[in-house]
Amino acid sequence: MMPQRICSLNNAPVTKGPVVYWMSRDQRVADNWALVHAQALALERQVPLAVAFTLAPAFLGATLRQYAFMLKGLAETARRLADLNIPFYLLHGEPPDEICRFARLHDIGTVVTDFDPLRVKRAWREEAAVRLEIPVVEVDAHNIVPCRLASGKLEFGAYTLRPKIQRLLPDFLHEFPPLQHHPFPWPSPPETFAVDSVLATLAIDRTVPEAAWLLPGEAEGHQRLAAFIAHGLASYDCRRNDPCADGQSGLSPYLHFGQLAPQRVALEARRHHPSSPSALAFLEELIVRRELSDNFCLYNPFYDSVQGFPSWGVRTHDEHRHDRREYVYSREQFAAAATHDPLWNAAQREMVTTGRMHGYLRMYWAKKILEWTPTPEDALATAIYLNDRYQLDGRDPNGYAGIAWSIGGVHDRAWGERPVFGKIRYMNAAGCKRKFDVREYIRRYQGDH
């Protein structure tokens, strides 16, 4: 494994004892650089290896929809690990407390964890690294080019990050080594947890039901990838922006929960469609745009605040802060899809009922929230709340960056000035009608759908 993926989070000396992989963002067995590194350390030291996941009692407004998808995927992960003689522990409580308690209880010698740019995850890792007197090592198992290596600063946009990633990509986009059946057994491994029993213990919002249209887990993610490569990738470039065409990959929930490695997706896309326009368009989104979102959240401490907008975006919002809004809706009206705009309402209903929304419509959806709320602060908070409550892939750098692009001009440029928006790029229903069959999309997501 390329050592540039690894970042030591403390300076604690190496000690004897088992290795634990503190799984968080990358919830899979196959194609997982953090697990590969953890096993390499354990084999080198001839010690047992375990995987631990710390289940926080609440996480950024996640509901039953997201917790159930995640836990069902983790149950599959636990079974796959058991086949490799690696036990899986599901720990309940505040993550830094639980991983420190686990490390002391089992005389752990090293903690390996995965990379996540979100503030709350970084705070968990940093607290654990301070409290533990053993090495805590972070491995970027999510980005193809490690985020910190790709750039050491906040990038202006895709055009500044793209050449940096393209220069490094040949060094990192290669096959994963296989995991071994671990030869050093863990004493008294735990039983596999029961998903329904765990869900019953959580004090979470159960009014947002599970998404019925897809199954969670590593195996299902790989099946959906294979189906997309076989039947969807060739036409991706001409179908991706049409919400009625079912032209997107459908892989976002699996990538968000780490049930599928972006690197595996890129490898398969390049293997089967090495240089087609559709493959190039897909890889641009999968690699450059997705890793740009991680860059945004890693280096901008205000990625979910108006303070995180570029200076021109902050300025234009201040200049138009008191512009008259033709319509103003409450958060509850937005959630209920009770606006005057049938297209916006249909997009909101799609998200509420399915846990997804087409990427093109997400932009329109967020920009109309800006147009119909009293302030940009209200707009940003409402968009994040709705996105994270209903989307399976909410609470993700892609979501924060996409909303900040739509509302604050992040990774964009200034456009012609207009009321409310100022110089923020504008979208309207007429533009959507030129892109796709708006009437058909609305029909699909009528109020009684």
3-class secondary-structure state, position 262: helix
Does residue 204 fall inside a structural domain? Answer: no
Q: Which of 252, 269, 299 is the last residue of a domain?
A: 299
Give the integer Cα–Cα distance in Å for 287 and 292.
8
Give the integer Cα–Cα distance in Å for 195 and 105.
25
For the chain, the domain total comes to 3
**What backbone phi and psi angles, to 5 degrees, belong to 358?**
-60, 140
Does residue 163 fall inside a structural domain? Answer: yes
Same domain for 135 and 229?
A: no
Same domain for 58 and 155?
A: no
pLDDT in tens, 229-264: 999 999 999 888 899 988 899 999 999 999 999 999
Contact in structure between 186 and 48 (CB atoms under 8 Å): yes
Same domain for 248 and 381?
A: no
Q: How much is the pLDDT for 449? A: 38
Q: Which of 116, 142, 168 is the last residue of a domain?
A: 142
3-class secondary-structure state, position 110: strand
Q: How much is the pLDDT for 275? A: 85
3-class secondary-structure state, position 155: coil
Q: Is the pLDDT of residue 448 over 70?
A: no
Same domain for 245 and 352?
A: no
Same domain for 281 and 154?
A: yes
- Comparison of pLDDT for 1 and 3, the residue scoring more: 3
Does residue 195 fall inside a structural domain? Answer: no
Same domain for 123 and 226?
A: no
Same domain for 136 and 151?
A: no
Same domain for 119 and 153?
A: no
Does residue 384 fall inside a structural domain? Answer: yes
Question: Pairing between strand 136-139 and 6-8?
Answer: antiparallel
**What backbone phi and psi angles, to 5 degrees, belong to 5?**
-75, -15
Domain holding 163, by residue range, is 143-176+217-299
What percentage of the chain exceeds 90 in pLDDT?
Answer: 93
Q: Which residues are CB-contacts of 361 (< 8 A; sequence separation ≥ 6)?
A: 243, 347, 350, 432, 441
pLDDT in tens, 293-342: 999 999 999 999 999 999 999 999 999 999 999 999 999 999 999 999 99
CATH number, residue 233: 1.25.40.80
Q: How much is the pLDDT for 446? A: 83
The tokens for 108 are 């752990």
Torsion, CA 140, CA 141, CA 145, CA 149, rounded to 10: 10
Does residue 194 fall inside a structural domain? Answer: no
Confidence bin at 447 (pLDDT 50/70/90): low
Which residue blocks in 147-260 are alpha helix, DSSP H? 147-150, 158-172, 195-201, 218-231, 236-239, 252-256
Using the 8-state DSSP alphabet, how is residue 287 labeled? Answer: I
Q: How much is the pLDDT for 94? A: 96
DSSP bridge pairs for 91: 54
Q: What is the mean pLDDT of residues 262-278?
A: 94
Q: Which of 254, 274, 299 is the last residue of a domain?
A: 299
Same domain for 351 and 429?
A: yes
Please provide the average confidence, as pLDDT, over all residues in the chain. Answer: 96
CATH number, residue 312: 1.10.579.10
Q: Is the pLDDT of residue 207 over 70?
A: yes
Same domain for 244 and 281?
A: yes
Same domain for 134 and 61?
A: yes
Give the integer Cα–Cα distance in Å for 231 and 449.
28
- Comparison of pLDDT for 224 and 192, the residue scoring more: 224
Does residue 192 fall inside a structural domain? Answer: no
Q: What is the mean pLDDT of residues 350-367?
A: 95
Does residue 205 fall inside a structural domain? Answer: no
Q: Tell me which of 119-123, 138-142, 298-302, 442-446 is least confident.
A: 442-446
Does residue 111 fall inside a structural domain? Answer: yes
CB crowding 411-436: b at 16 or more within 10 Å, else e: bbeeeeeeebbbbbebbeeeebeeeb
pLDDT in tens, 32-68: 999 999 999 999 999 999 999 999 987 878 999 999 9
Same domain for 74 and 163?
A: no
Give the integer Cα–Cα distance in Å for 446 and 339.
13
The one-letter amino acid at 57:
P
